[in-house]
Structure 1
Amino acid sequence: MSVARHSRPPELVGASLEQIMDRYVARFADRVPDWNAFSDANIDGYRRAQHRFVGAGASGKHDDSNIVPAGNFTLSIMLVPPGQGNAPHTHEVEEIFFVLQGRCVVFIEEEDGRRLSKELQQWEMISCPPGVIHGYVNETNEPVYLQVMLGRGRPETAGFADQKLFENKNAHLTR
């Protein structure tokens, strides 16, 4: 006989295994790529699609109907076409970029503009600490797939380093 050594969260007390399996399995084929997931995603150089799996991530979109409920982290897959990336930004929690397919240049930078970059290949990653300006760019001719995780179930919207982008950080929520 099996014994659960930890209690279930309140929302799962009394839930059947079938209900849990149905709610907590997410398939890539069922994800709809969101090309408007972020306010910078309509700017050339920052175009990318978010496939949400767990929680909404830093997009701020909290449509939970087809997303695995988030507890203490989010998980998305980003499709980054050649020549695209994301705008330099910060979070109040750590963010991880893990390369699933392709190669990608990740960067961290100071407020004075000094930037350090590294190219990551498949199965490599960076963990960006809270408050450190960071981002990525696909400098190759092939698409890149990144797994992106944030350390909170409902993190704040990304804090873009550029003032104009920061002022419009929630514009994508009304489109």
Structure 2
Amino acid sequence: MATARHPRPPELEHASLEDIAARYVGRFRDKTPDWAAFEDAKIEGFKRAQHRFIGAGGSGKHDDASAIPARGFTLSIMYVEPGQGNAAHTHEVEEVFFVLQGFLDVFFEDEAGNKAWRRLAPWECAACPPGVIHGYENRSLEPVYFQVMLGRAQPELMGYASDDLFQKRDGHLKSIPRG
């Protein structure tokens, strides 16, 4: 007989194993790519699709019913075509990029606009500390799939380094259907 050494969270105390498995397993085939997950994704050069698995990520869309409930972090898979990426930004928590397929060029930036670039290949990652300006671009000839994790269940919206984007950063939230 097995003994659970830690208590279940209150909402799962009486849940069946089938209910837990149904709610806490995410399959890529069941995910719909969100091409409007971020305000900068409307701009050529920053177009990308987010596939939410755990929580909402840095998009602020915390009510995605298909995502596994987040407790201490978020996890998404990003799809980025050649020549696309995201705008320079910060988070209040650590953000991790882990490449699954393809190549991804990530950068760390200072307030003077200087950038340190690193190319990530499959099974390589970059951890972006809180408050450090960073971003990425697919500078290769093939699409890239990579995992993104943020270190909080409900992180704040990303803090775009561009004043113009920062002022509009919650524009993508207006398109969320409310039920």
What TM-score results when the alignment is normalised by the length of structure 1?
0.99
Asked if 1:81 is matched to 2:96, the reply is no
2:167 counterpart letter in structure 1? E
2:159 counterpart letter in structure 1? G
Q: How much identity, in percent, do the aligned residues show?
A: 62
Tell me the equivalent position of 2:169.
169
SS of residue in 1 equivalent to 2:79: strand
Q: Deviations over 1:19-60 (max 9, x none)?
A: 100000010000000000000001001000000000001101
SS of residue in 2 equivalent to 1:131: coil
Instruction: Output the CA distance in 1 between the equivalents of 2:137 and 2:82.
Output: 8
Asked if 1:5 is matched to 2:5, the reply is yes
SS of residue in 2 equivalent to 1:41: helix
Tell me the equivalent position of 1:53.
53
What is the deviation of 1:64? 3.2
SS of residue in 2 equivalent to 1:135: strand
Alignment of 1:1-175 (within 5 A): 1-175=1-175
What TM-score results when the alignment is normalised by the length of structure 2?
0.97
Q: Deviations over 1:79-135 (max 9, x none)?
A: 001100000000000000000000010000101111100111010000000000001
1:58 counterpart letter in structure 2? G
Instruction: Output the CA distance in 2 between the equivalents of 1:43 and 1:153.
Output: 27
What is the deviation of 1:62? 1.6
Instruction: Output the CA distance in 2 between the equivalents of 1:35 and 1:92.
Output: 24
Instruction: Output the CA distance in 2 between the equivalents of 1:115 and 1:140.
Output: 18
- Aligned-pair Cα RMSD in Å: 0.6
Instruction: Output the CA distance in 2 between the equivalents of 1:92 and 1:21.
Output: 31
SS of residue in 1 equivalent to 2:42: coil
1:35 counterpart letter in structure 2? W
What is the deviation of 1:6? 0.5
Runs of 4+ in 1 over 4 A off after TM superposition: none
Instruction: Output the CA distance in 1 between the equivalents of 2:79 and 2:64.
Output: 21
Structure 2 unaligned residues grouped into runs of 5+: none
SS of residue in 2 equivalent to 1:174: helix
Instruction: Output the CA distance in 2 between the equivalents of 1:82 and 1:171.
Output: 25
Instruction: Output the CA distance in 2 between the equivalents of 1:63 and 1:156.
Output: 14
What is the deviation of 1:174? 1.1
What is the deviation of 1:141? 1.3
